[in-house]
Chains A and B, each alone.
Chain A
């Protein structure tokens, strides 16, 4: 893992019992921070990334040389203002940006774990990331924020550590992964596993990469992050650098070319096994399970102030599923705000320049911060 030698990480010595039953210890957790921790350590925000995100939320990712995934929201003077707040972002376990993941070397076999890596859950991810609070000696976070799978981690964090964050902003997420979302993830996994180069998950030791399978998984998933109206407006039936149809299976349409491009750049930065493990973690996510189907009970012990945000054109994590979280919190008299932002950019809206969304985050954080100062 030489390419990760210059990135920040902690080695978590404390054993972590995973939901699958295995215990891990002395594992790496890669992180990045933005802004400065203030004197009384009261301005810390932990952000959680989505399926294919990582700890490099803002600025330039030093590994991929691409923009951070949350450049619109995070930075000096932005919605999550790093002139004001100290932001910690880490790579989830199971990931492929320096945290403990399936391409790490198994000390017993001296080979990459591959599919011998333990199946992890959102709960495991959050429990691992909690160690960063101890590392930075933070008694209480000012906020936990995340979209999509990041939002699931926000919900899990508040449930596991009820009074470790003053505020919480789960965005475009759900408390319980739906059948449709499990189905879409399964499509991606089957695509990877159908690639001959996947080799039952032990492709690295054979110097192979299931790029085709991973690219198709990304293409399919990418469609689910957009909306029909957004796609129609951006691409319609426009042709790709040609005047007429070619009567072949080349990428005649711009949308085809766009998806192929999205697939091809994705395989350069993401590990196929990580994709399997992380989508599995999302599918296993059901915060109500431990509480007999009653979501309210997951938050009973918490005094965290919530603000929940959904998007009109998000059909992957629709408003109704976000509103279920609002209802569960209201049912037990918790402090919660909720906004559905108008946007035709689909699920991806939370990553994009959607001013009403960014303003909502900004005003909520700033008002809450004023209350403690």
Chain B
């Protein structure tokens, strides 16, 4: 399992009610189900991923996070997880609002466009950065709204969203990925 998933799993509490938005093939959900909380379900858009979740015996709802989060009532989950998908939504602001409405806490991870390798790539090569976390070219990337950890922190400040973040400048330079717990 990806290191990111272990780090996310550490943030959720025992037996809490969890929604994994864009749960992919269910790898993280399976780990959480077996080790932390059975009360977890996911939303996933891709039919083949939905089948993989079903095969793992996970509760999955086939659907689109941009449209389907509105059906959940306020505060209906202790944690809502969104791993590296925020930047791919057409309207990430709306998705963030929805996450914070339906979850008491939201755990959000973003690929950090402020990482030194990304900066160096653009500075030296003068082309759009292609890295391990950002493997696509500009013409086929699903990422519509790239941001840095600092951008994300600025956004949260502006919208009065509580964010757990230490050593902003250090992280913005050295972390390829930002993982945050957000609260309204």
Contacts and interface: CB of A to CB of B under 8 A. Distances in A.
A367 B73 CA distance: 27
Given A327-B71, A359-B51, 8 more contacts: A326-B71, A330-B72, A331-B72, A336-B59, A340-B47, A342-B47, A356-B51, A366-B57
Interface string B61-76: 1110000000111001
A107 to B, nearest CB: 50
Q: Kindly name the residue among A305, A339, A340 whose own CB sees the greatest number of chain B CB atoms within 10 A.
A: A339
B71 A359 contact: no
A333 B73 contact: yes
B41 interface: yes
Interface in A345-366: 356, 359-360, 363-364, 366
B54 A359 contact: yes
Interface of A: 305, 307, 323, 326-327, 330-333, 335-340, 342, 356, 359-360, 363-364, 366-367, 370-371
B170 to A, nearest CB: 40
B73 A331 contact: yes
Contact of B54 (A323, A327, A364, A371): A364
30 contacts: A323-B63, A326-B63, A326-B71, A327-B71, A330-B61, A330-B71, A330-B72, A331-B71, A331-B72, A333-B73, A335-B41, A336-B59, A337-B41, A337-B60, A339-B50, A339-B54, A340-B62, A342-B47, A359-B51, A359-B54, A359-B55, A360-B54, A363-B54, A363-B56, A364-B54, A364-B57, A366-B57, A367-B57, A370-B57, A371-B38
Interface in B33-87: 38, 41, 47, 50-51, 54-63, 71-73, 76
A365 to B, nearest CB: 10
Contacts of A359: 51, 54-55
Contacts of B54: 337, 339, 359-360, 363-364
Interface residues of B, number: 19
Interface of B: 38, 41, 47, 50-51, 54-63, 71-73, 76
Contacts of A305: 59
Contacts of B71: 326-327, 330-331
A96 to B, nearest CB: 36
Nearest to A342: B47
Nearest to A337: B59
Given A331-B73, A342-B47, A363 B59 contact: no
A320 to B, nearest CB: 12
A359 B53 CA distance: 12
Given A331-B71, A342-B47, A326 B61 contact: yes
A331 B74 CA distance: 9
A13 B38 CA distance: 44
Contacts of A336: 59, 61
A41 B74 CA distance: 39
Contacts of A323: 63
Q: Kindly name the residue among A330, A335, A367 whose own CB sees the greatest number of chain B CB atoms within 10 A.
A: A330
Contacts of A338: 60-63
A359 B50 CA distance: 12
Nearest to A323: B63
A342 B50 CA distance: 12
A72 to B, nearest CB: 18
Nearest to B63: A338
Given A327-B71, A333-B73, A363 B61 contact: no
A305 B61 CA distance: 13
Contacts of A342: 47
A363 B41 contact: no
B57 A339 contact: no
Contacts of B62: 338-340
A256 B73 CA distance: 51
Contacts of B51: 339, 356, 359-360
A360 B73 CA distance: 27
A357 to B, nearest CB: 10
Ranked nearest first, the 6 interchain pairs of A and B with the lowest CB-CB distance are A367-B57, A327-B71, A337-B59, A330-B71, A338-B61, A333-B76
Contact of B61 (A337, A356, A364, A367): A337
Nearest to B50: A339
Contacts of B57: 363-364, 366-367, 370
Contacts of A331: 71-73
Contact of B59 (A335, A356, A370): A335
